[in-house]
Amino acid sequence: MDAPLRLRLDGDALVANYHVLARMSGAAACGAAVKANGYGLGATAVVERLAAAGCRDFFVASWAEAAVLAPLGVAVSVLHGVRDTDMALALNLPMVRPVLNSATQVARWRASGGGRCDVMVDTGMNRLGVSVAEVRAGLLDGVAVDTVMSHLACADEDSVVNVRQRAALIAVAPRVAATRLSLANSAGIALGADYAFDLTRPGLALYGGVPRGELAGRVAQVATPEAQILQRRVLRAGDSIGYNATFTAPGDMEVAILNIGYADGYWRGFTGRGAALAGGRRLPVLGRVSMDLTAIDVTRAPDLAEGDWLALDFDLTQAAAQSGLSPYELLVALGDRFDRYWVG
């Protein structure tokens, strides 16, 4: 491990977050959304830890993502269902099943004799899913459905849409011979026991994101970017720094140039707002974040030298407010120039 950029991943925090969400899911099983490479953390390492903690149901977007996890021998559901070109893989990964989304996918799966599957029913998000009317008309008759699921559009708000979607899932359920019902993502879990059904599907909150106030203080940060100081330099009063000279030193000051930038997912939105952390000190970003480099103020940190490592302030709620991005975008954009390492 020798990249000048690394992502510290707190395994104890990940597992503790899982246990919090499993407890909040009550009698329902608690699964895990691990699409987009485990929300940027590294899907294989996340699944290994969550499986050891008791998680039995994992969700990815694509068959390519499922194939990465297949050697782990865990049950994986592919949220985007099956295209024709996925069928060869779909019939050869025994622990992986599709979440069928459309009448075309249902017909394809039936024709293949594909066996157990999940089904997404659209209850109002109008993104993916078969319609309630299609199910009522018998679309799923004779299909071996493990989990029939729907997805909440507004779980992070107190919206009547949540109530309507829940009622629609309950109303359609008797028409499907499914083993389990599933509705809640992270925010949906925080809506309470009425939304848990048989299986919950948290993603963001496992990784420390807080989509609703009920989860604040209950889930902990998992991922922290750490960058090496490439150079320490002095700015004289009146000197500017970075592209477009957006910051000018009001007096003499000292800066450290960190090996991280927007190509790593440390976005330009952190310009003038983000910070590095060192021994309880907050060291603000100065000037524009570049593609590969970020400058921070180390005037009050004379001990920091070239080659030292600094953590970036990456509390997801605060970092989202600073950068203008969602906590989801911040996580999944963490790039592949990081060495990912786990503690705990």
Ligand X SMILES: *Cc1c(COP(=O)(O)O)cnc(C)c1O
Q: In whole angstroms, what is the distance from residue 230 CA to residue 49 CA?
A: 34
Residue 243 designated active-site = yes
Query: Contact 31/69 with Cβ under 8 angstroms?
Result: no
Q: Does residue 186 touch ligand X according to CB under 6 A?
A: yes
The site for ligand X, by CB under 6 A, has a size of 12
Q: Does residue 33 touch ligand X according to CB under 6 A?
A: yes
Q: In whole angstroms, what is the distance from residue 144 CA to residue 60 CA?
A: 20
Q: Does residue 166 touch ligand X according to CB under 6 A?
A: no
| Least Cβ distance, residue 167 to ligand X (angstroms) | 19
- Quick one: angle between helices 11-24 and 43-52, nearest 10? 60
Cα–Cα separations (whole angstroms), residue 225 to 76, 93, 220 = 28, 34, 15
- Contact characters 34-53, ligand X, x per CB under 6 A: -x------------------
| Least Cβ distance, residue 323 to ligand X (angstroms) | 18
Q: Does residue 203 touch ligand X according to CB under 6 A?
A: yes
Tokens found for residue 34 = 């691990």
The correct pick among 8, 201, 288, 340 for binding ligand X (CB under 6 A) is: 201
CB closer to ligand X out of 184 and 298: 184
Residue 35 designated active-site = yes
Q: In whole angstroms, what is the distance from residue 12 CA to residue 166 CA?
A: 33
- Mapping DSSP onto H, E and C, the string for 30-55 reads ECEECHHHHHCCCHHHHHHHHHHCCC
Query: Contact 304/310 with Cβ under 8 angstroms?
Result: yes
| Least Cβ distance, residue 33 to ligand X (angstroms) | 4
Q: Does residue 202 touch ligand X according to CB under 6 A?
A: yes
| Exposure on the CB side of residue 55, measured as CA atoms within 13 A | 32
Q: Does residue 129 touch ligand X according to CB under 6 A?
A: no
Strand 130-131 relative to strand 117-122, pairing: parallel
| Least Cβ distance, residue 253 to ligand X (angstroms) | 40
| Sole window of 180-188, 221-229, 292-300, 303-311 interacting with ligand X (rule: CB under 6 A) | 180-188
The correct pick among 68, 79, 139, 312 for binding ligand X (CB under 6 A) is: 79
Q: Name residues contacting ligand X, limited to 140-159 (CB under 6 A).
A: 151
Residues of the shown chain interacting with ligand X in the complex, contacts defined by CB under 6 A: 33, 35, 79, 151, 185-187, 201-204, 211
The residues that are catalytic are 35, 243
